Amino acid sequence: MLKLSAVSLLATSAVAPVALADDPDPLPSWNETASKKAILDFVGSVTKEGSADFVPEEERIAVFDNDGTLWAEQPMYFQLLFAIDRVKALVPLHPEWQTEEPFASLLKGDVKGALSGGEPAIMKLVMETHSGMSADDFDKIVLDWLATAKHPVTNRPFTEMVYTPMLELLAYMRASGFRTYIVSGGGIDFMRPWADKVYGVPPEQVVGSSGETKFMVRDGVPILMRLPEINFIDDGPGKPVGIHQHIGRRPIAAFGNSDGDFEMLEYATRGEGRRFGLIVHHTDDVREWAYDRNSSIGRLEKALDLANESGWTVVDMKNDWKTIFPFGGKQD
């Protein structure tokens, strides 16, 4: 059974608001700009029976990246912060980590040094801290962490670091007959325990990177054991593959914020019929963070350069959103 603190935190977090397809303004946190108009025009055209662009409900699939698209990703991916906290919790069981990288640097408080090894170091960190327990035990560990962990800048629970305009958009699309999926480079098992409470997206509609698991029977109980091996990376060109494997239909709408979403946007928007692609551009360094081309987190260059010719809508966070987080901005 989950701890009451974890259940309480998720039950009171920023769950996607209820929206009706015919609401006078289903996106109240969006300013009256071209981005909002593009969304409303698209949804209106594919849901109006008799329209040349009409799409039956079973084909209304919308996919959303998570980090930097539905919730914040600065100053570090939240799952990586979870992994760092796991290192601190597990170090009594791993004395070798005192001298083994990237763990040794982390334990000295040198996060930059620990991550200087790039993707191999990050993968090692994640694999070692996310394995060695059952899938059910991992769910509980994630929820317990979310119940107490706070964002290092805002001091808010991570489940409050979600974008109110995107919660409205998720609700609006579902009210308009869309099925909304998360397709993220983040861990599928890290997101599934809380995605329904926070976004209204059930676990079976979450697609992400994964580690290997093994079926076994322990003390007479069938379990899935998490292994320290990579199974699938759901990022870049992996995203269309993940969509094919988990969803089985080509989306007609895709939402992202970085070059890691480029192939997903291409895959969704270059099919037949009316389609829609949207990029969240982080331009507000007061209420959130401003970054794109030179960022090591959520780098946005190729997708931004090709957005116009691809027909994708680019959301200017500073000018298009009335509010960003449920509590306002990072300095509130």
Going 264 to 266 to 272 to 275, the CA torsion angle's sign is positive
**Looking up tokens 């560990």, which residue turns up?**
141
Tell me the pLDDT tens digit for each residue of 207-242.
999 999 999 999 999 999 999 999 999 999 999 999
CA 319 to chain centre: 23
At residue 11 the predicted structure's pLDDT band, cuts being 50, 70 and 90, is very low
Share of the chain above pLDDT 90, in %: 88
What are the percentages of helix, strand and coil residues in the chain, rounded to 5? 45, 20, 35
Q: Provide the domain limits for residue 51.
A: 23-75+160-320
Same domain? For 39 and 170 the reply is: yes
From 101, 117, 148, the end of a domain falls on 148
Q: Which residue type occupies 136? A: D
Sheet with 276-281, side-by-side order of all strands: 221-232, 206-218, 179-187, 61-64, 253-256, 276-281, 313-316
Whether 7 is covered by a domain: the verdict is: no
The neighbour count for residue 271, using CB atoms within 10 Å, is 11
The pLDDT mean for the chain works out to 93
Note the pTM of the prediction, 2 decimals.
0.93
Query: What does residue 168 show for φ and ψ, rounded to 5 degrees?
Result: -65, -40
Per-residue pLDDT, 18: 67
For 115-127, the pLDDT digits (tens) are 898 889 999 999 9
pLDDT tens for 25-36 read 999 999 999 999
What is the predicted pLDDT for the residue at 113?
A: 92
Q: Tell me, yes or no, whether 208 and 112 share the same domain.
A: no
pLDDT in tens, 53-65: 999 999 999 999 9
Q: How far does Cα 210 stand from its chain's mean position?
A: 14
**Residue 244 clears pLDDT 70, i.e. is over it:** yes
Let me know whether 273 and 290 are in one domain: yes
pLDDT at 15 over 70: no
Same-domain status, 223 and 113: no
List, in order, residues 6 or more apart from 197 with CB less than 8 Å away.
Answer: 10, 11, 13, 15, 159
What CATH number is attached to the domain comprising 278? 3.40.50.1000
Residue 126: per-residue pLDDT: 94
Three-class DSSP category at 319: helix
In angstroms, the first-to-last Cα distance of the chain is 35
